[in-house]
Amino acid sequence: MSPPTPSSAGDATPPPISPGGTYGIQTITVGCKIYIRRPGPDGEEERLAEILSIRDKPVNAYARKSAASSGLSTPEDQWEFFVHWDSFNKRLDEWVSGSRLVLNRDLEWPRPKTAEGKKNGGPVQKAPGKAPRSLLKKATTNAAMAASPTPGPSTPMFGEYAPSPSPVPTSLKRKMRPEDEEEEEEEEEEDAEGDMDAEGEMDIDGEGEIENFELSLQESVPEPPPLSSFSKEQEIEKLRTSGSMTQSVSEIARVKNLNRLQIGKHEVDAWYFSPYPKEYAHLPILYICEFCLSFFPSPMMLSRHRLRCTLLHPPGNEIYRYEDISFYEIDGKRQLTWCRNLSLLSKCFLDHKTLYYDVTPFMYYVLARRDSTGCHMVGYFSKEKESAENYNVACILTLPQHQRHGYGKLLIEFSYELSKKEQKLGSPEKPLSDLGLLGYRAYWAETIIDLLLECPDGEISVDEIAQRTSITHADIMNTCTTLQLFKHFKGQHILCLNNAVLEKHQKNKAKRRPRIHPEYLKWKPPVFTRDQLRFGW
């Protein structure tokens, strides 16, 4: 049943609510909030979630057919819902079956929209699998009309919360209800682009430039709070619940298209959307070769590939080796396929980066651990060959199965060792992801405090800290402000280490983590000619 329409809609108007038992699964649309069963630490629990997309339950073409799965009789078995759990991080968004929806509890409908020239009445009900037009549609028109890079695959352009059904030809168009035809005619071209990306069209690769869009939404963008109102607890809570700090609105609208990845002996959940080919979308598990990073839909195809694949380490020059830790330098221009596969894999765990086709402007530095079977990738960071802003990192990632072992700080420390070799100050490309921001702040704080404690006479300037650590002045100032190290004394500002900062520093130093030993780094800064820096011409 349709929810009642309030007489006046506005920001202060509460959303319409339908009591439990008065609606069916057929009436649930994108934007509704409903309670859904999910496994918890104390057994199954019911949590509020927002519906972001609806699709028909996909059929795995590579799985063996069984009589049990041949007939799906009830709507609960036919549809799947992509949901965002209320007060949970975005990386926990997932597809759930219709049988997990709790239909005997209240359903919260989206706030009704009021626009001039539109018919009055309740919200138009959409059939499951057909997503209504998003509020972000018109705000991302400019992004959707951006020219796609060459060759072949087009850059995805998302303007709506489009459903991600099982792979079908992209030329198929959705059947529109009469109420939607008028709006569809106005934005037919944007819909065509949105449908292509919903199917999982590839937009391979490249590292990171972030596009900023001017939004014309009803809610104005709040001004950033001043430094005086900084609260670490509030920031941690924001990072925990909002996911990464993406600035691209088209990225927000993307629905995760992969479920799980098997990389070597590890099986991990995908966190975000990654533009793998549509034939691989919504498979139960995507199998990835841990050495060449090729991807396959079935374990049999992966095993056949492993019989032919001779690669046992990242395809580059080994520039650092200490114990079982190695770093490899890889030129994106020489290893196009490998670097593109790496970008696709890393996009599964990074929500703040946009993939572009060309990987040739970047150098990749891959951290690997050696054992008797080969060198297994742990993480990597990429770096522009020629950065106008003096960034020493474009994109950085530690694979989820290797996180919380100190490898993130090891990658950060290695990037600054390269900057010291280049005799430059460096900083990571902004914006950072939530985990990246916490990792960099921890490294900056540890490095600056170590340097202050090692200073014999206790006098050192910000410029000296920058020259000895290769950390930029802005990052040093922001870190000291965050730690509240600046004090005003006798008409000037000084750096003062309080007991709380020292106690936390000693606790962190007591943790054993891998460190970089500069004497084992065998590397000279690469020099590129003007012709080598002409990309895409």
CA 105 to chain centroid, in Å, comes to: 32
Q: Rounded CA gap, 152 and 150, in Å?
A: 6
Q: Cβ contacts of residue 126 below 8 Å, gap of 6+?
A: 29, 30, 132, 177
Cβ–Cβ under 8 Å, residues 401 and 263: yes
Question: Could you give the 3-state DSSP secondary structure of residue 468?
Answer: helix
Per the DSSP assignment, residues forming a β-bridge with 471 are 426
Residues shown for the chain: 537
Cβ–Cβ under 8 Å, residues 334 and 365: no
Q: Are strands 427-428 and 391-393 parallel, antiparallel or unpaired?
A: parallel
Cβ–Cβ under 8 Å, residues 125 and 138: no
Number of Cβ within a 10 Å radius of residue 150? 10
Nearest to 24 by CA among 57, 2, 50: 2
Nearest to 399 by CA among 210, 209, 204, 269: 269
Cβ–Cβ under 8 Å, residues 25 and 79: yes
Catalytic-role residue among 50, 429, 459, 503: 429
Per the DSSP assignment, residues forming a β-bridge with 490 are none
Q: Cβ contacts of residue 17 below 8 Å, gap of 6+?
A: 3, 106, 107, 108, 109
3-class secondary structure per residue, 280-329: HCCCCCEEECCCCCCEECCHHHHHHHHHHCCCCCCCCEEEEEECCEEEEE
Catalytic residue status for 429 = yes
Here the tokens at position 251 are 């990225």
Q: Cβ contacts of residue 345 below 8 Å, gap of 6+?
A: 261, 263, 274, 288, 293
Cβ–Cβ under 8 Å, residues 358 and 343: no
Cβ–Cβ under 8 Å, residues 216 and 138: yes
Known catalytic residues?
429
